[in-house]
């Protein structure tokens, strides 16, 4: 009852993480840069049918609502306190991401040509036509109403992060969602499955472990030790 009738193409510059996402811990800087690095290395994986990137689930918001204002203020505070997150000018009507927030902000790293915390190189669109289309035209997203109760909002945020925990969300072209029990997929890397249920701090630790970088090395910078 809270979903808009059709999927909507939304630009990443209009999206901030919802305050309910990742158990209120926000996004992991390392994971945002890791996803952007994979896009740079492997190309943008455009969504076709049920293949490609996960479809973002967003709430249409304004700073006039309590939850919208709280989410925007939290994101602005985080981008000021933590160097490396993309900073974009958010329009008056924007969207809060309940799922796929790291993916969306990874797109913004390309939008702002931010510098990778791993390689020191700027994220460039180069010749990736699908990536350019995603930035210029937006990504098809499921959009929910800001009138949705906070508990329902929180529930959806938690469920989206349980994709590899026995639950699969199938998204139809009209935006309808079918939830079913997931089959165990031996091809899914363990770290990828874990990344779905970690909070921001745990997720950063998970990425550092994957890259072979400990906390002290991360504090000094990634450039000397990163495997990327």
Long-range contacts of 199-206 (CB under 8 A, 24+ apart): 199/22, 199/23, 199/25, 200/22, 200/25, 200/26, 200/27, 200/28, 201/25, 201/28, 203/22, 203/28, 203/30, 203/31, 204/28, 204/29, 204/30, 204/31
The closest alpha carbon to 95, from 191, 17, 182, belongs to 17
Q: Is residue 128 part of a domain?
A: yes
pLDDT value at residue 216 = 54
pLDDT value at residue 14 = 98
Q: Is residue 197 part of a domain?
A: no
Q: Is residue 39 part of a domain?
A: yes
Q: Is residue 225 part of a domain?
A: no
Q: Is residue 104 part of a domain?
A: yes
pLDDT value at residue 53 = 85
The total of structural domains in the chain comes to 1
pLDDT value at residue 130 = 97
Q: How far apart, in Å, are the Cα atoms of 203 and each of 14, 105, 146?
A: 24, 15, 28
Identify the domain containing residue 77 by its residue range.
8-160
Can you list the residues of the chain whose pLDDT is less than 50? 164, 184-188, 190-191, 193-194, 215, 224-227
């Amino acid at each position: 009852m809270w979903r808009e009738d059709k999927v909507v193409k939304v630009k990443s510059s209009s999206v901030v993480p919802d305050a309910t996402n990742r158990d209120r811990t926000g996004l992991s800087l390392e994971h945002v840069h890791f996803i952007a690095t994979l896009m740079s290395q492997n190309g943008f994986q455009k969504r076709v049918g049920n293949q490609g990137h996960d479809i973002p689930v967003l709430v249409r918001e304004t700073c006039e609502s309590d939850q919208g204002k709280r989410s925007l203020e939290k994101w602005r505070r985080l981008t000021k306190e933590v160097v490396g997150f993309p900073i974009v000018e958010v329009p008056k009507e924007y969207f809060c991401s309940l799922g796929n927030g790291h993916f969306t902000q990874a797109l913004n790293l390309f939008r702002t040509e931010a510098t990778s915390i791993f390689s020191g190189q700027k994220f460039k669109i180069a010749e990736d036509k699908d990536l350019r289309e995603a930035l210029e035209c937006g990504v098809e997203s499921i959009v929910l109403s800001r009138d949705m109760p906070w508990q329902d909002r929180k529930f959806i945020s938690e469920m989206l992060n349980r994709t590899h925990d026995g639950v699969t969300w199938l998204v139809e072209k009209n935006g309808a969602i079918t939830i079913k029990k997931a089959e165990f997929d031996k091809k899914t890397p363990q770290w990828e499955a874990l990344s779905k249920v970690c909070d921001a701090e745990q997720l950063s630790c998970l990425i550092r472990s994957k890259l072979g970088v400990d906390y002290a090395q991360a504090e000094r910078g990634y450039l000397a030790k990163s495997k990327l």
